[in-house]
C-alpha cells in the first residue's frame, strides 16, 4: 500500500471508530462497535520474536521454559514462591478448592460471573448465597456470619469489579469459625491495599488472565496461596496427578497453561502500569461527565489506601429518576454500536442450573443491584473522545440534549 493510501486508510479507521457526533438528526452510531472491553495487545513484533523462540524450542506446553519464565516473573511481582499458573481461572479456582479439601457448604456471593459457583459445583460443594453490600457490591460480612452452619467449611468472596472485599472483617469471621477464606480475585490483578497485593489476603486467591481482563494471557489463571505445602498438590492436580512417567499419585486433570499463553502474559505484564493509568483516566472522565446525572449512580470512591486497577466501569441506573430502565438504556446503547454489559445479571441463583438451591437470605441488595447494574466500556485503548461521546449519548437518552451541552461545559471546566 502506498504511503498516501495508508494514511487515508488510517484516517478512515479513526473516524469510523470514533464518530457518534451530534448530527442534524441527533447522535450517529459509532462506525465500529465499542465493546465493554478489548484485550490489550503487545506490539506484534515482540510477540513474533517470542514465537520464534518457541519454534526453536519446539516446546509448546507441559511446563516449558516460557511458562517457567512467566511463573518466575509473577513470583517476583507477588513476592512469593506460592504461585501456580493454570490454563484458565475457572480450573484454577476449581483446583484451588479441591487441593485445599473444601467440602460441605461454602458461603459465597450470587453477584459474580457464573464460574465462581461452577467451581464449587464441580467439587460437589453446596453454594450458600448471601447478600452483598450496596456500595462496592462485595459480600456483606454480617450476612456471611449469619449463614454459618456446622457444614460450612469456607467463605468464597469475590473482589467484584476489582473492588476489595471487607478484608479484615472476613478474616476475623474465618478465624473465629475456623473456616478457609478463598478469594475469587478474577477481576483484581494489580489491586493493592495499603501497599499489599490483594492476592496476599485470605488463604488463597484466584486471578483470571482471560482476554477480557485488564491483565491477560489470552486465557489463563493464577493461584496465590499462603500454605507452601499446597504447591505440589496443585502441580499434581493440573497435570493428571503425575509424579513421574510411571506414577500417578492422584486423579488430576489437565489444566496446564501453554507456552503461547505464557508468552502473551510476559509481554502484557510489561505494560501493566501504563494500562492501569490509561484506564484510570477513562474512569475519571466517566465520573466527571456522569456523576451528577440524575438517576445514574457510581459506587463511592474506594478508600485512599486502595490502589485500584480500573478494570470495570459499573454504574447503576435508577429507572424512575433517569427516565429509562437499565435494560432500555442497554438496548438503546446497542443502537449506537455501544455494547455495554449487564455484569452481573441475572444473579447466579436465578440461572436454571442453580434455581433448585434453597436460599435463606432474601438477597435484597444483590437483587436490586443486579436489576440496575450496567458496566460501561473501559479498556486502555479506548479513546477519551469516544468516552466523551458515550457520555453524551447516555445523558441525551436520559435527560435530553440541553443537558449534554450543560454537562460538557461543566466537566471541561472541572477537568481541563
Ligand atoms: N470468576 C469471576 C468473578 C470471573 O469474572 C470470571 C471470568 C471467572 C471467575 C472465570 O475466569 P476464566 O475461566 O474466564 O479465566 C467474560 C469472560 O469470558 C470471563 O472470563 C469473565 N469472567 C466474564 C466477566 O466476562 P463474557 O461471556 O461476557 O465474554 P464475551 O466473549 O462476551 O466478551 C466480552 C466482550 O469482550 C466482547 O463483547 C468483546 C470483547 N472481546 C472478547 C474477547 C474474548 C474482545 O474484544 N476480544 C476477545 O478476544 O465473559
Residue with cell 465499542: 34
Q: Output the pTM of the full model.
A: 0.93
Q: Per-residue pLDDT tens for 292-325? A: 999 999 999 999 999 999 999 999 999 999 999 9
Whether the CB of 163 sits within 6 Å of ligand 1: no
Residue with cell 440461572: 351
* pLDDT reported for residue 303: 96
Q: Count other Cβ atoms within 10 Å, centred on residue 325.
A: 15
Whether the CB of 116 sits within 6 Å of ligand 1: yes
* pLDDT reported for residue 27: 81
* pLDDT reported for residue 412: 54
Bridge pairing between strands 306-307 and 338-339: unpaired
Q: Per-residue pLDDT tens for 104-155? A: 999 999 999 999 999 999 999 999 999 999 999 999 999 999 999 999 999 9
Element (H, E) at 248: strand 247-248
* pLDDT reported for residue 414: 55
Residues whose CB falls within 8 Å of the CB of residue 312, separated by 6 or more in sequence, listed in order: 161, 162, 187, 343, 375, 378
Across 120-153, b (16+ Cβ under 10 Å) vs e yields bebbebebbbbbbbbebbbbbbebbbebbeeebb
Alpha-carbon distances of 338 from 127, 182, 368, 378, rounded to whole Å: 35, 35, 24, 11
Q: Does residue 344 have a cis peptide bond before it, meaning omega lies within 30 degrees of 0?
A: yes
* pLDDT reported for residue 4: 45
* Ligand 1 atom showing the smallest separation from residue 89 Cα: 15
Whether the CB of 39 sits within 6 Å of ligand 1: yes
Q: Count other Cβ atoms within 10 Å, centred on residue 31.
A: 16
Which residue is closest in CA terms to ligand 1's atom 12? 89
Beta-bridge partner residues of 207: 222
Element (H, E) at 83: strand 83-86
In the reported structure, the alpha carbon of residue 209 is separated from the centroid of ligand 1 by a whole-number distance in angstroms of: 10
The packing angle between helices 65-78 and 44-57, to 10°, is 130
Probe residue for ligand 1, chosen from 210, 344, 347 as the CB with the greatest number of ligand atoms within 8 Å = 210
Q: Per-residue pLDDT tens for 160-173? A: 999 999 999 999 99
Per the CB < 8 A criterion, the answer to whether 288 and 411 are in contact is yes
pLDDT along the chain (416 residues), means of 10: 42 44 65 97 97 98 98 98 98 98 98 98 98 98 98 98 98 98 98 98 98 98 98 98 98 98 98 97 97 95 97 97 96 97 98 95 98 98 96 88 58 53
Probe residue for ligand 1, chosen from 113, 189, 346 as the CB with the greatest number of ligand atoms within 8 Å = 113
Q: How far apart are CA 289 and CA 216, in angstroms?
A: 29
* pLDDT reported for residue 400: 60
* pLDDT reported for residue 401: 52
In the reported structure, the alpha carbon of residue 342 is separated from the centroid of ligand 1 by a whole-number distance in angstroms of: 12
Helices and strands (H, E) in the chain, number of each type: 15, 19
Alpha-carbon distances of 68 from 90, 146, 165, 321, rounded to whole Å: 21, 43, 31, 53
Amino acid at each position: 500500500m502506498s504511503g498516501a493510501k495508508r494514511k487515508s486508510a488510517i484516517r478512515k479507521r479513526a473516524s469510523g471508530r470514533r464518530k457518534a457526533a451530534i448530527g442534524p438528526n441527533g447522535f450517529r452510531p459509532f462506525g465500529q462497535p465499542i465493546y465493554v472491553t478489548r484485550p490489550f495487545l503487545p506490539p506484534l513484533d515482540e510477540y513474533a520474536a517470542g514465537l520464534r523462540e518457541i519454534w526453536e524450542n519446539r516446546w509448546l506446553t507441559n511446563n516449558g521454559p516460557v511458562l517457567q519464565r512467566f511463573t518466575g516473573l509473577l513470583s517476583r511481582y507477588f513476592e512469593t514462591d506460592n504461585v501456580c499458573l493454570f490454563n484458565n481461572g475457572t480450573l484454577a479456582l476449581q483446583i484451588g478448592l479441591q487441593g485445599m479439601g473444601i467440602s460441605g457448604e461454602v458461603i459465597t456471593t450470587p453477584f459474580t460471573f457464573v464460574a465462581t459457583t461452577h467451581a464449587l459445583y464441580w467439587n460437589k460443594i453446596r453454594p450458600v448465597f448471601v447478600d452483598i453490600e450496596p456500595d462496592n457490591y462485595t459480600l456483606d460480612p454480617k450476612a456471611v456470619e449469619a449463614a454459618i452452619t456446622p457444614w460450612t467449611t469456607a467463605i468464597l468472596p469475590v473482589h467484584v469489579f476489582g473492588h476489595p472485599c471487607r478484608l479484615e472483617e472476613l478474616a476475623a469471621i474465618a478465624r473465629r469459625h475456623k473456616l478457609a477464606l478463598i478469594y475469587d480475585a478474577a477481576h483484581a490483578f494489580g489491586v493493592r491495599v495499603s501497599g499489599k497485593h490483594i492476592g496476599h489476603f485470605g488463604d488463597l486467591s484466584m486471578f483470571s488472565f482471560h482476554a477480557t481482563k485488564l491483565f491477560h494471557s489470552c486465557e489463563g489463571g493464577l493461584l496465590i496461596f499462603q500454605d507452601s505445602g499446597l504447591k505440589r498438590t496443585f502441580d499434581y492436580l493440573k497435570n493428571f496427578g503425575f509424579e513421574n512417567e510411571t506414577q500417578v499419585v492422584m486423579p488430576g486433570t489437565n489444566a496446564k497453561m501453554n507456552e503461547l499463553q505464557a508468552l502473551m502474559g510476559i509481554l502484557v505484564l510489561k505494560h501493566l502500569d501504563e494500562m492501569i493509568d490509561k484506564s484510570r483516566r477513562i474512569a475519571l472522565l466517566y465520573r466527571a461527565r456522569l456523576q451528577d446525572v440524575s438517576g445514574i449512580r457510581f459506587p463511592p470512591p474506594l478508600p485512599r489506601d486502595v490502589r485500584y486497577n480500573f478494570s470495570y466501569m459499573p454504574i447503576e441506573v435508577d429507572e424512575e429518576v433517569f427516565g429509562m430502565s437499565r435494560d432500555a438504556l442497554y438496548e438503546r446503547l446497542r443502537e449506537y454500536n455501544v455494547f455495554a454489559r449487564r455484569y452481573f445479571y441475572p444473579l447466579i441463583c436465578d440461572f436454571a442450573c442453580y434455581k433448585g438451591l434453597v436460599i435463606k437470605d432474601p438477597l435484597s441488595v444483590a437483587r436490586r443491584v443486579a436489576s440496575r447494574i450496567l458496566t460501561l466500556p473501559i479498556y486502555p485503548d479506548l479513546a477519551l473522545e469516544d468516552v466523551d461521546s458515550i457520555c453524551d449519548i447516555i445523558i441525551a437518552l436520559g435527560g435530553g440534549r440541553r443537558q449534554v451541552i450543560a454537562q460538557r461545559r461543566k466537566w471541561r471546566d472541572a477537568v481541563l
